[in-house]
Amino acid sequence: MTGRLDEGSFSPVRRWLQLAPRRPWFSALTATVGAVVGLFGSIFSNEIKRAFPFATGDDFIWQAAAFYVALFFFGYLFRLQMQGQGQALNESSERLERLIRTLPP
């Protein structure tokens, strides 16, 4: 045993992460998460301001921590969406290029 995880066990997750960002519902999900994070940041803006810089222990403010976790999650979803759209664009342009090459001069 080499100590590494079997990559085959992650293949369904990896496949989902490659295909889901190309679906229309993923864009809606990303926009919704962004709106909810913005609303959360607006509601708890005083707590977020008071929590900077972060401190653990008695002064820990969960609203600020939850906001930043949600913000990073939104950023990750946005990144996945942009990658998916870029891949879809590349595939469609390659398909168009193949089609044009088959046309007579």
DSSP readout, 33-74?
Answer: HHHHHHHHHHHTHHHHHHTPSP--STT--HHHHHHHHHHHHH
Instruction: Please state the domain count of the chain.
Output: 1
> What is the domain range of residue 80?
23-102
pLDDT at 3 over 90: no
Residue 14's pLDDT band (cuts 50, 70, 90): confident
- Calculate what percentage of the chain has a pLDDT beyond 90: 41
Instruction: Give the type of residue at 49.
Output: K
Q: Are 44 and 64 in contact (CB under 8 A)?
A: yes
Kindly state whether residue 12 falls inside one of the protein's structural domains. Answer: no
pLDDT of residue 4: 57
Kindly state whether residue 3 falls inside one of the protein's structural domains. Answer: no
pLDDT at 49 over 50: yes
Query: What 8-state DSSP symbol labels residue 78?
Result: H
